[in-house]
Chain A
Amino acid sequence: MTALLKIEALGVRRGARDVLRALSLSVQRGEIVALMGASGAGKTTALRAVAALQSFDAGRIEVDGFALGPGPLPTQAQLGTLRRRVGLVFQAHALFEHLSARDNVTLALRHVLGKTDAEARSVAERLLGSLEVGARADALPRQLSGGEAQRVAIARALALDPPLLLLDEPTAALDPERRESLGRVLRGLVKDAGRGLLVATHDEAFARAHTDRVVKL
């Protein structure tokens, strides 16, 4: 079976220091993989490289047939296909502060995919509802709790329906109860749509309980 994400011998240097050295992993459709490591081990760097937010110095990344190589990043126009195939949920959520939860989700639908307002709104409300934050659709990011903001950020990352979802430290600010709830949500995302998830975390208990495989850095 062809892997949804294939990372081969990924290396990132910052000056004389190796931030990542020879990382290899793969993620299949329907699979949740945990990328574990201590703080500073390069988990976030790996996710950023897969999302083409940062260049790398060695190795190869392939996302659903779209290949990235070492050297300067391709232009945003050249990355169009990749952007549809990878969603990234930032650790600090990075929601657009001036927009409501609903508009955070609809913005890319309207301006990148060219959907009508009504279509975009319908998708946003379905996504927010499935993530149990439908009631908070009109709230601004500053009015949301940490857990709510995270779910809105997941909904936004799923707006373009990417097969691969990357999550950076999703449990960092969650209490045990919300961690369990998040685990159920992630499992649902994989099961329903056949997606693959790569979760960077240092939370071993979460990784063991809610992911299929653990890759240690």
Chain B
Amino acid sequence: MKILFLLLIAMQGPVLRWGGDAEGGAPFVEADPADVSRVRGFDVEVAETIARGLGRRAQFVQVQWSSIDQSVERGDFAIGMSGMEDTPARRARHAVTVPYFEFREVLAVRPADAGRWHRLRDLKGRRVATLGATMAYDLLLAAKDSFGIIPVSYDDDVHPYSDLMTGRVDAVLLDHIIAKRRSSLHFVIEPQAIATGHYVAVLAQADSARRDSVNAVLITAMRDGTLEQIYRRWDVWDPAQGELFRRVQDEVVGAQHAAPLQGIAPLQGVSVWAYLPSLARAAVITLLLSFLSMGIAVVVGLALASARVYGRAPLRILATVYVEVVRGTPLLLQLFVIYYGLVGVVRLPAFLAAILALALNYAAYEAEIYRGALEAVAPAQLEAARTLGFSEAQILKLIRGPQAFRYALAPMTNDFVALLKDSSLVSVITVVELTKQTAIYATNLGSWIVPGLLCAAVYLAMSLPLARLARRFERRWSVA
């Protein structure tokens, strides 16, 4: 049976593995509703056109959008596509094809603000959202310095628009086809584009020969109308694409990239030094998040543990349900629920939501540590205290509490180290902490080596002293 399966595969001919992110959704790449094991979208059809042109069968590889560059370079697949922007950094580090689509960066605003803000300079002091590590994000960073806007980075392109409508942000800057896809949310797209850019396919730097072949296939597809048919099918065709095709065929666009329309240059000249201040700021955010969350987690954890050890049955059951539900569900899910799920009830700022989610999650773990520690104090000691006339409150304060604290201190410190690292998850709700800042840096730089090492060094500098402290506590009180 297995041999038959392998034969069938072999009969289908050589494959061209291409990587994209189906989470990005239509019209780029999305799971086919008719058969969710397959993908569809205009990028999927462009990839299939390329594969056919190379005499191969396209095989899709799912990869996180922000990792496409790194994955193609390490050979996970031959070509990366999914609305990959043509940037100088990408051109410098990878073999990049000719542009095959021209997009416009457009501002989306709430209907009440329509016509009020046309350009980034009009948005001084306003929160403007976009997808992190994109040309739009670079534009916002530049506008932060030039015009005093507040960039808000997201990990996906859905929540910027939903947050726009709930008032968490004042505008969204993203590619026009992404804005168009989300137009059911009834925001208004400002007609004047902020910038234009191009989508390209990305190959490994050493794979320039194949890149040239892909270019030939793309140019043929532009010339014979194949790409136009694809774009029309996906309702993304406009006259700008025809103009782009003509320029590409005339070899005008080859090394061109995003063309800012309003004198705002995307960030360039990325170096380690340029990123150090933002890394330091992000490290402070990480520390703040961790200390505040842990402080709340300790208080809530103590209350939960006390309820479980001393409370009456209903309180004990409530505390147990809380601990089990929180420990049994992913922190990521809790973050989404608190930030996005509760938006109809309370619209929490991202930083506060991040602290709350981390604190409430870790409170469940702390509660179990404290409960275990309280129950580790020998019951005979508590009885001895009762025979001496101590009240229950005195017993907790003078005998049980101090001993439980010693038992709990080492695991608590270890938990704090874990929280320090888990705090990186909050980037999904727009908080730019150390890991997120590093990812942005790495994407711009096109390499994870220096940013990764720097980020690891900062985390180690924060966590190693704590781990050492935990070991000291363990040694000091382990005999007791």
Binding site for B on A (CB under 8 A): 51, 53, 76-77, 79-80, 83-84, 86-88, 90, 92, 94-98, 107-108, 111-112, 140, 142, 156-157, 159-160
Partner of A107, one of B391, B398, B403: B398
Please tell me if the beta carbons of B381 and A97 are within 8 angstroms of each other in the complex. Answer: yes
Residue of B nearest to A143 (CB): B479
Report chain A residues within 8 Å CB of B480.
Answer: 97-98, 140, 142
Please tell me if the beta carbons of B388 and A112 are within 8 angstroms of each other in the complex. Answer: yes
CA distance A100 to B13 in the complex (A): 81
Please tell me if the beta carbons of A108 and B381 are within 8 angstroms of each other in the complex. Answer: no
Partner of B389, one of A80, A97, A140, A156: A80
Question: CB-defined interface of B383-398 with A at 8 Å, one 1/0 digit per residue?
Answer: 1111111111010001
Nearest-Cβ distance from residue B322 to partner chain A, whole angstroms? 30
Please tell me if the beta carbons of A160 and B403 are within 8 angstroms of each other in the complex. Answer: no
What 8 A-B pairs are tightest by C-beta distance, nearest first? A83-B389, A94-B380, A108-B388, A94-B384, A112-B389, A88-B387, A98-B403, A94-B381
Please tell me if the beta carbons of A90 and B383 are within 8 angstroms of each other in the complex. Answer: yes
B406 interface residue (CB < 8 Å to A): yes
B349 interface residue (CB < 8 Å to A): no
Partner of B386, one of A76, A84, A95: A76
B399 interface residue (CB < 8 Å to A): yes
Nearest-Cβ distance from residue B474 to partner chain A, whole angstroms? 16
Interface residue range, chain B: 20 to 34
B378 interface residue (CB < 8 Å to A): yes
Please tell me if the beta carbons of B389 and A160 are within 8 angstroms of each other in the complex. Answer: yes
Report chain B residues within 8 Å CB of A111.
Answer: 390, 394, 398
CA distance A117 to B389 in the complex (A): 18
Nearest-Cβ distance from residue B143 to partner chain A, whole angstroms? 59
B402 interface residue (CB < 8 Å to A): yes
Please tell me if the beta carbons of B384 and A90 are within 8 angstroms of each other in the complex. Answer: yes
Please tell me if the beta carbons of B398 and A53 are within 8 angstroms of each other in the complex. Answer: no
Residue of B nearest to A51 (CB): B387
Report chain A residues within 8 Å CB of B384.
Answer: 88, 90, 94-96, 156
Nearest-Cβ distance from residue A151 to partner chain B, whole angstroms? 15
Report chain A residues within 8 Å CB of B399.
Answer: 96, 98, 107
In this complex, the member of B380, B389, B391 whose beta carbon has the largest number of chain A beta carbons within 10 angstroms is B389
Report chain A residues within 8 Å CB of B398.
Answer: 107, 111
Please tell me if the beta carbons of A92 and B387 are within 8 angstroms of each other in the complex. Answer: no
CA distance A79 to B386 in the complex (A): 10
CA distance A68 to B479 in the complex (A): 40
CA distance A93 to B75 in the complex (A): 68
Nearest-Cβ distance from residue A195 to partner chain B, whole angstroms? 16
Nearest-Cβ distance from residue A182 to partner chain B, whole angstroms? 19
Nearest-Cβ distance from residue B467 to partner chain A, whole angstroms? 25
Report chain A residues within 8 Å CB of B390.
Answer: 108, 111-112
Residue of A nearest to B385 (CB): A96
CA distance A108 to B394 in the complex (A): 10
Residues of B441-480 at the interface with A, using a CB-CB cut-off of 8 Å, are: 479-480
Residue of B nearest to A80 (CB): B389
Please tell me if the beta carbons of A83 and B388 are within 8 angstroms of each other in the complex. Answer: yes
Nearest-Cβ distance from residue A103 to partner chain B, whole angstroms? 10
In this complex, the member of B383, B387, B399, B406 whose beta carbon has the largest number of chain A beta carbons within 10 angstroms is B387
Residue of B nearest to A48 (CB): B383
- Assuming the contacts A94-B381, A98-B402, asked whether A86 and B388 have C-beta atoms less than 8 A apart, the reply is no
Nearest-Cβ distance from residue B243 to partner chain A, whole angstroms? 80
Please tell me if the beta carbons of A86 and B391 are within 8 angstroms of each other in the complex. Answer: no
CA distance A111 to B395 in the complex (A): 10
Please tell me if the beta carbons of A159 and B388 are within 8 angstroms of each other in the complex. Answer: yes
CA distance A107 to B387 in the complex (A): 13
Residue of B nearest to A86 (CB): B387
Question: CB-defined interface of B248-261 with A at 8 Å, one 1/0 digit per residue?
Answer: 00000000000000
Report chain B residues within 8 Å CB of A108.
Answer: 388-390
Report chain B residues within 8 Å CB of A156.
Answer: 384, 388
Nearest-Cβ distance from residue A70 to partner chain B, whole angstroms? 20
Report chain B residues within 8 Å CB of A51.
Answer: 387
Report chain B residues within 8 Å CB of A98.
Answer: 399, 402-403, 406, 480
CA distance A80 to B390 in the complex (A): 9
CA distance A158 to B389 in the complex (A): 13
Report chain B residues within 8 Å CB of A79.
Answer: 389
Residue of A nearest to B379 (CB): A94
